[in-house]
Amino acid sequence: MNNQSSNNLFEKNQVSVALKQSFIKLNPATMFRNPVMFAVWIGTIVMAGVCIWIGTGEKNQGSLIYNIIVTVILFITLLFANFAEAIAEARGKAQADSLRKTREETPAKQLVLGEIEVEEIKIVPSSQLRKGDIFICETGDTIPMDGEIIAGIATIDESAITGESAPVIREAGGDKSSVTGGTKVLSDKIKVKVSTEPGESFLDKMIALVEGASRQKTPNEIALTILLAGFTLVFVIVYVTLKPFGDYANTPITIAAFISLFVCLIPTTIGGLLSAIGIAGMDRALRANVITKSGKAVETAGDIDVLLLDKTGTITIGNRKATHFWAADGITDSRFIEACVLSSLSDETPEGKSIVELSNLNKSNFDTTGATFIEFTAETRSSGINLNNGIRIRKGAYDSIKKIAESAGNHFPTETITRVNAISSNGGTPLVVSENEKILGVIELQDIIKPGIQERFERLRKMGVKTVMVTGDNPLTAKFIAEKAGVDDFIAEAKPEDKMNYIKAEQQSGKLVAMMGDGTNDAPALAQADVGVAMNSGTAAAKEAGNMVDLDNDPTKLIEIVEIGKQLLMTRGTLTTFSIANDVAKYFAIVPALFIASIPALQGMNIMNLHSPESAILSAVIFNAIIIPVLIPLALRGVTYKPIGASALLRRNLLVYGFGGVLIPFVGIKLIDLLVSIWF
C-alpha cells in the first residue's frame, strides 16, 4: 500500500527545501506562534546586540569571540527548530503531492446543453470543471475530477491512488458510486457529476493543513503550548530575578550567561519539535493512505474507546462460503449436490459461486437449455431453477423453504431441522434445498474469519478499545462469530439507524466512537461518530460526513488510525517529559558557572566537574541546540506504541524519556565540555 511513500526520513530534495524554509520561518510573525522558540528568538537578537556592544568597547561582558559563539549557537538552535517543522512539512507535502500528481490536467468530456436544448459533449480541460458539472468517461479515459457516478457502471483501475492493481467496479446508485480524479476507466461508460470545486478536494485540504497556511493548532496542542508557555514564564522569572540577586552577592553576571541559562531551561526541545510532531502525525496517516480533514481527527483517534467494525471485509473475508453439503435421509449425496449446483448455476452471488466451487463439479456438464432461473427476492427469500423436465429446485432460508414444502403438504424431515439448528449455533448459515417442494438437504455456509484478526482485537483490548461487530446476520450467528473473532460486542440484524443509536448510547456514557462506512445511509452515523472514516469508494455524502477518507477502502484501517493517533499523543508526551527532565543537568551545569567567580566555595556544586564557567555555559547551550536535530527522527517517526496497558506504558516511557532525560544531558554536557575546554 505504501507504494508511493518512501521510508527514508531525509530525502535530498526535501532537506534542501527544508533548509531554505528554516530561514524563511525566522520571520517574527511566524515565530510568534510558538512562545518557546519566540523567547529564544528574542534572546538571539539581544545577544547579537551584546556582540555589537562589545565591539564598540564594552569590557565587562566577556570576550567577543565567546559572545559571538553563544549568539551563533542560539541562532542555530532556532534554525534546528525551524528545520524540524520544515522537514515535516516537506515530507507531508511530498506525500500529498505524489497523490496529487495523479490529477494533472486531463481533457474532460463535459456534457453541456447545446443550442437546441440537446446535451452535447464538449472537450474542456479538467481545471475548468466546477462542482455540479457533468462529464462522461469511456474506456481508456482518465477521470478528470472527483465525482459521483449518476449513470452507468464501469470497471476502474484505482492503482494510482491505492496501489492495488485489481480493478474495481463502480456504479451509479449504490454505495460504490464515487470516482476519484486520476483513476482510469478500464471498460464501459459512465456519466459523472463533479462533487468538489477545484482546489477543494480532500487532498487539497490536507495539503493546505500540512503546509501550515490553514494549519490550526489542535485543542491538545493548544493546552500543551499553554503549559510550555507557563514553564517559559517561570524561567523568565528565575532569570530576571537573578540580576538583583547577583547585585546583592556582588556577582556580576554577563548577559550571555543570563540568556544561556534562560534558553537552556525553557523547554526548547519540545517547543522546537511540537509542530513537527503534529504534522508528522497527519503524514503518517497519509502514508497509510488515509486523508484526514483536520489534525484534531488524528488526535481524537488516539482517544477512541469504541470501534464499530463491519463484519464483512473487516472480521471475515468477504462473504460467506459453502463449507458442507448435508443430504437429508434417503437422499444420496451425489443427487443432493447435483441439485445444489443446478440451483446455483446462474446465482452470481458469492454464496452461489462458492456452492459450485465446493461441489467440484464442472458447470458445463449441466444442461440447462430451456430452464428458467428464479432470482432471489426479498419476499420469497429463496432462489432456484425450473428445469425443462418440470423439476423445480429451490434453495433458501430455512423458514421460507419450510413454508414451500409444508404448503405442498410435504413433511419437513426432523433430522434436517436438527442439522439446521446445529449449523446456526455454529455460526453458520443453513441454506435448505428442495426439489419439487420436497426437502433434499441443507447446505452449510460459513464465515471465514480473517487470519490474525483475533490478535489485533486482543491488541485493541489492551489499548482499552472496545470492538463492536456490526452485521446483518441473525443474533445467533452474530454471537458465534463475535466470540470466535474475539470482539467485545456485536449488533446483529443491523439497520443503519442501529449503528446511529449504538454510537449515541456510547457517547452518552462519555465514550468516543469511531466507525467506518461507505453508503449514504451511513452518513448520519459517520457524522455522529467522533472519528468517521469514509471509504474513498463511498458516496459523496458519506465522504462529506466523515472526518477521514480511506483511499484503500480497507475496513481494518480503523485499527491503524487509532494507533497513529496514540502514537502522536505519546510522542508529544514523551518529548515534553524528556525536555523538562533535561533541566536538572542544565541547572547543575550553569548555576555554579554563574556564581563561581565571586563565591569560589560553590565549586562544590560543580558535580560534573566542568572545566570553566565559559566552557560550562557553552556546553549546556550546545547540548541544548544539538538535541533538537537528534530527536527529529523520533518526532517524525513517532514513539513506538506498545499495547501493554496504560500503567506499563507510563512506566516504560517514564523510565526511557524521564529517567533517560535526566541522565543523558549529564553525559552529553560533560562530553561537549571535554571538547570545548580545549579553547575555553
Position 294 contacts other proteins (CB under 8 A): no
Binding mask 504-543 for other proteins (x = CB under 8 A): -----xxx--------------------------------
CB closer to other proteins, 65 vs 240:
240
101-129 per-residue burial string, b: 16 or more CB within 10 A, e: under 16 = ebbeebebbbbeeeeeeeeeeeebebeeb
Q: How far is the CB of 561 from other proteins (least distance, A)?
A: 13
Asked if 632 contacts 280 with a C-beta cutoff of 8 angstroms, the reply is no
In angstroms, what is the minimal distance from the CB of 235 to other proteins? 7
Maximum C-alpha span of the chain = 117
Lay out the site mask for other proteins across 83-112 (x = CB under 8 A, - = otherwise). ------------------------------
Cα separation, 329 vs 225, in Å, equals 75
How many angstroms separate the Cα of 505 from the Cα of each of 502, 510, 512, 529, 667?
5, 9, 11, 11, 53
Cα separation of the two ends of the chain: 54
Nearer to other proteins, 623 or 641 (CB): 641
For other proteins, the binding residue among 48, 591, 626, 663 (CB under 8 A) is 591
To other proteins, the closest distance from the beta carbon of 251 in angstroms equals: 8
**Helix intervals (H) in 25-63:** 28-31, 35-55
Closer residue to other proteins, CB minimum distance, 186 or 599:
599
Burial of residue 426 (number of CB atoms within 10 Å: 0-12, 13-18, 19+):
middle
Phi/psi for 490 (5° steps) reads -145, 155
Amino acid in the structure at residue 310: D
Query: For the stretch 345-365, what's the b/e string if a residue is b when 16 or more beta carbons lie within 10 angstroms of its beta carbon?
Result: bbbeebbbebbbebbebeeee
If one asks whether residue 60 binds other proteins (CB under 8 A), the answer comes out as no
Number of shown-chain residues binding other proteins (CB under 8 A)? 77
Question: Which residue in 584, 630, 671, 675 binds other proteins (CB under 8 A)?
Answer: 584
- At residue 388, the 3 state secondary structure works out as coil
Pairing mode of beta strands 147-157, 372-374? unpaired
**Candidates 385-393, 404-412, 442-450, 578-586 — which segment interacts with other proteins by CB under 8 A?**
578-586
Residue from 134, 654, 670, 677 touching other proteins (CB under 8 A): that is 654
Instruction: Name which of 100, 152, 194 is nearest 551 in CA terms.
Output: 100
Least separation in angstroms between residue 270's CB and other proteins is: 10
Among 35, 302, 396, 430, binds other proteins (CB under 8 A): 302
Phi and psi at 273, nearest 5°, equal -100, -10
Q: Does 657 bind other proteins (CB under 8 A)?
A: yes
Please state the closest distance from residue 34 (CB atom) to other proteins, in A.
16
> In the range 187-226, which residues lie near other proteins by CB under 8 A?
219-220, 222-224, 226
In this chain, which stretch among 106-114, 117-125, 166-174, 456-464 interacts with other proteins, using CB under 8 A?
456-464
116-155 positions binding other proteins, by CB under 8 A:
none
Residues 505/498, Cβ–Cβ less than 8 Å:
no
Q: How far apart are CA 650 and CA 97, in angstroms?
A: 37
Closest distance of CB 564 from other proteins, Å? 10
Instruction: Return the residue of 10, 23, 32, 245 that touches other proteins, per CB under 8 A.
Output: 245
Q: How is residue 183 annotated by DSSP? A: -
When binding is defined by CB under 8 A, the residue of 158, 283, 299, 518 that contacts other proteins is 299
Per DSSP (E only), the strands in 366-523 are: 372-374, 382-386, 392-396, 429-435, 438-446, 466-470, 489-491, 513-517
Question: Nearest distance from residue 361's CB to other proteins, in Å?
Answer: 51
Which range of residues in 99-107, 389-397, 573-581, 624-632 is near other proteins by CB under 8 A?
573-581
- Nearer to other proteins by Cβ, of 83 and 588: the residue is 588
Regarding 259 and contact with other proteins (CB under 8 A), the answer is no
Q: Quick check: 647 binds other proteins (CB under 8 A)?
A: yes
- The residues in 361-400 that bind other proteins, with binding defined as CB under 8 A, are none
Could you count the other beta carbons within 10 Å of the beta carbon of residue 244?
Answer: 9
SS3 533: strand
**Cα separation, 134 vs 124, whole angstroms:** 12
- Grid cell at residue 322: 459453502
* Residue 173 contacts other proteins per CB under 8 A: no
Query: Cβ 653 to other proteins, closest distance in Å?
Result: 4
Residues 602 to 641 in contact with other proteins, rule: CB under 8 A: 602-605, 641
Q: Which is nearer to other proteins, 96 or 309 (CB)?
A: 309
Where b means 16+ CB within 10 Å and e means fewer, 640-653 reads ebebeeeeebeeeb
Residues of this chain, 465-484, that bind other proteins according to CB under 8 A? 465-466
Q: Of 450 and 459, which CB lies nearer to other proteins in the complex structure?
A: 459
Which range, of 128-136, 172-180, 561-569, 667-675, touches other proteins by CB under 8 A? 561-569
Q: Out of 118, 123, 237, 678, which residue is the one contacting other proteins (CB under 8 A)?
A: 237
Report the residue number, 122 or 243, with the smaller CB distance to other proteins.
243
Return the number of the residue (191 or 461) whose C-beta is nearest other proteins: 461
**Cα 575 to Cα 634: distance, rounded to the nearest angstrom:** 9
Q: Which is nearer to other proteins, 351 or 563 (CB)?
A: 563
* Residue closer to other proteins (CB basis): 101 or 651: 651
Nearer to other proteins, 480 or 588 (CB): 588
Q: Any contact of residue 274 with other proteins (CB under 8 A)?
A: no
Sequence-distant (≥ 6) Cβ neighbours of residue 327 within 8 angstroms: 333, 335, 336, 337, 440, 441
Rounded least distance, CB 629 to other proteins, Å: 23
Contact (CB, 8 A) for 564 and 281: yes
Using only the alpha carbons of the chain, give its radius of gyration: 34
Q: How many CB atoms lie within 10 A of CB 154?
A: 25
Single residue of 208, 658, 670, 677 touching other proteins by CB under 8 A: 658
Choose which of 94, 569, 610, 617 interacts with other proteins (CB under 8 A): 569
Among 101, 243, 324, 495, which residue sits at the site for other proteins (rule: CB under 8 A)? Answer: 243
**Which of 223, 630 has the CB closer to other proteins?**
223
Question: Among residues 133, 141, 146, 310, which one is catalytic?
Answer: 310
CA 345/CA 387 separation, integer angstroms: 12
9, 234, 607, 674: residue in contact with other proteins (rule CB under 8 A): 234
Q: Annotated catalytic, 310?
A: yes
Distance CA 490, CA 476 (A): 11
Q: Which strand ranges, in their side-by-side order, compose the sheet holding 321-327? A: 321-327, 438-446, 429-435, 392-396, 382-386, 372-374
Using CA atoms, how far apart are residues 271 and 232, in angstroms rounded to an integer? Answer: 10
Residue 566 binds other proteins (CB under 8 A): yes
Q: Which residues are catalytic?
A: 310
